[in-house]
Amino acid sequence: MALHPSALPPEITVFERGWLSSNNVLFTGARSGTALVDTGYCTHGGQTVALVRSALDGRPLERILNTHLHSDHCGGNAALQEAWPGVHTAIPPGQAALVRDWDPYALSYTPTGQDCPRFRCDGVLQPGTEVLLGDRPWQVHAAPGHDPHSIILFEPQERLLISADALWENGFGVVFPELDGEDAFAAVADTLDLIERLAPRTVIPGHGPLFHDAPRALEAARRRLDGFVQNPLKHTQYAAKVLLKYKLLEWQRIRMADLRAWTLATPHFRTMHQRHFGGQDFDAWLQGLAQDLVRSGAARHEGDWLVNL
């Protein structure tokens, strides 16, 4: 029987989190057992364990799957592995060696100035294969762009898509390879084309509420991407603001002097400034970014503090 289009099958629970943590998708299945897709940011680790524990009602968490290894998608892995030591953790291929040897620079945590406690990986999610979640086969698709290693998961019968940061209701995640000077806007476009071909009826994004109008979201995402392609500077400025706001979400409030010290110690800020805003004094650029956050209602100044809103 087909489900009402706005309903999720009962074996799927979506924990919609704030922006600091990605959404988490919990699966229960009589045959396939329990599994969690993406685990949030580390500072919310205790909350993530509590949410999962309460929803599983005494059953253990058996599997963790990560769509990609950004700190807001796998930052809860360590806490969950501690709570359920037998849990099997699968990540996209391409970074398994970096996780085994734990390279926080190559795994993006040092360049973004974000934290992620070391975790164990036990297997990979190979694009072109299927994984059983909630007793249904889900297709694993490569979805490069936002992150070169990201995967998305698609269930063809109900046409459910776990889109990670490749597609949100209003946009998509920062195109991180571009910050390192690698061309990745074309990969973003290809991934949007892939999602269009999959024609999902329900999209569970990495952030924000689930949505049904994928064509509208795709159109908005393509418009946004076109703007970035026309003017890459716009993307860099957007990325800098996102990274700043993200850290402010973690800190809640920070002295401008401490913010300056953090940005100077955070490689992405140095390279973004050097590559695109080198003609501008670093402090003036940073002040301008903070001012943009204030103007858009994302923060406010309180004396020499910048406060999250």
Q: Which residues bind Zn ion (CB under 5 A)?
A: 70, 165, 173
Smallest gap from Cβ 309 to Zn ion, in A, equals: 23
By C-beta, is 62 or 147 nearer to Zn ion? 147
Smallest gap from Cβ 296 to Zn ion, in A, equals: 21
Smallest gap from Cβ 20 to Zn ion, in A, equals: 12
Half-sphere exposure of 37 (CA within 13 A, CB side): 31
Indicate the helix (H) or strand (E) that contains 124.
Answer: strand 123-124
By C-beta, is 32 or 114 nearer to Zn ion? 114
Nearest residue by C-beta to Zn ion? 70
Smallest gap from Cβ 219 to Zn ion, in A, equals: 22
Smallest gap from Cβ 69 to Zn ion, in A, equals: 9
Q: How does strand 35-37 pair with strand 63-65? A: parallel
By C-beta, is 165 or 178 nearer to Zn ion? 165
By C-beta, is 173 or 200 nearer to Zn ion? 173
Smallest gap from Cβ 68 to Zn ion, in A, equals: 6
By C-beta, is 165 or 169 nearer to Zn ion? 165
Smallest gap from Cβ 274 to Zn ion, in A, equals: 24
* Cβ burial, residue 58 (10 Å; 0-12/13-18/19+): exposed
**Taking CA 66 as the corner, what is the angle to CA 63 and CA 71, rounded to the nearest 5 degrees?**
125
By C-beta, is 134 or 173 nearer to Zn ion? 173
Smallest gap from Cβ 147 to Zn ion, in A, equals: 6
What CA–CA distance (Å, rounded) separates 189 from 78? 33
By C-beta, is 60 or 148 nearer to Zn ion? 148
Name residue 87's amino acid: V
Q: What is the SS3 assignment for 227? A: helix
Alpha helices in the chain (DSSP H): 45-56, 71-74, 77-83, 96-101, 109-112, 176-179, 185-198, 214-230, 232-251, 256-265, 267-276, 282-295
What CA–CA distance (Å, rounded) separates 15 from 24? 5
Supply 165's token pair: 């940061």
Cβ 166 vs Cβ 191: under 8 Å: yes
Residue 283's CB: how many other CB atoms inside 10 A? 12
